[in-house]
Amino acid sequence: MYVIIEGVDTSGKTTQIEILKKSFPTAIFTKEPGGSELGKEIREILLYGEIKSRNAELLLFLADRAEHYESVIKHNRDKLIISDRGFVSGIAYGVANNGEIDIDFLTSLNLFALENQMPDLIVLLKTNEKLIKSRMSDKTEDTIEKRGVDYLLRVQNSMKNILKNLDINYLEIDSENSIETICQNIDMAIKRLL
């Protein structure tokens, strides 16, 4: 079973992933970008490189996704796989970076990278301006976070629209809830599908 935890930077994905590791100790935990050997190199370029072309950035994310699917997801679908981010982020960041790119085109590129195999569950941790500002003040920003709060909120809005338009099982959770409440909701959603 393939589960993706989605959300913009500072939504609490990393915290929830760490808690889920205790709840599901036999699961495979991975992330995008950077869940494969090649992906680790791509992640460094994406987060700390100086990419001038938004199209190049999009294509790097797609390369990471295709490699990640081939090397981590494809042959482990009989196990529980939990990923920190996935294709919804890929589409949403692509739309936010270049509003002229058609969402259906981006969706088809991401499905191509995933060999048309969708996850069994997507959990979207939704946040707000106040929470983003509060959490960003406590950390060093990477290249994407430096684009600002409005940018992250546009990405989140795209994520919500993508999930509504896809025929896919998803759960939306408010990041302002307590860490424990969020974890319980994710835990229950996964166990219902096991």
What is the distance in angstroms between the CA of the first residue and the CA of the last residue of the chain?
8
Q: Do the domain assignments include residue 121?
A: yes
Residues 39-66 pLDDT 10s: 999 999 988 888 888 889 889 999 999 9
Task: Identify the pLDDT of residue 9.
Answer: 87
The span from the CA of 26 to the CA of 17, in Å, is 13
Number of domains in the chain: 1
pLDDT (tens digit, 9 = 90+) per residue, 138-168? 665 555 556 778 889 999 999 999 999 898 9
Higher pLDDT, 135 or 86: 86
Could you tell me if residue 69 is inside a domain? no
Question: What is the DSSP secondary structure assignment for residue 114, as one 8-state letter?
Answer: T
Token readout for 105 is: 């085109």
Residue 177 inside a domain? The answer is: yes
Question: At CA 27, angle to CA 78 and CA 168, rounded to 5?
Answer: 60
Q: Determine the structural domain holding residue 142 and report its residue range.
A: 2-32+74-101+117-193
**Region 98-111: what's the mean pLDDT?**
86
Q: What's the CATH number where 7 sits?
A: 3.40.50.300
Q: What is the largest CA-CA distance in the chain?
A: 44
> Which distant-in-sequence residues (6+ apart) come within 8 Å of 43 by Cβ?
33, 34, 64
Dist. CA 11–CA 107, nearest whole Å: 23
Strands 28-31 and 170-174: unpaired
133 assigned to some structural domain: yes
* Stronger pLDDT, 122 or 151, i.e. the higher one: 122
The verdict on residue 67 lying in a domain is no
> Over 90: is that where the pLDDT of 110 sits?
yes
CA angle 150, 68, 128 (to 5 degrees): 20
Average pLDDT, the chain: 91
Please check whether residue 54 lies inside any domain of the structure. no
Residue 83 lies in a domain: yes
Q: Which of 76, 70, 75, 78 is nearest to 39 (CA)?
A: 70
pTM over 0.85: yes
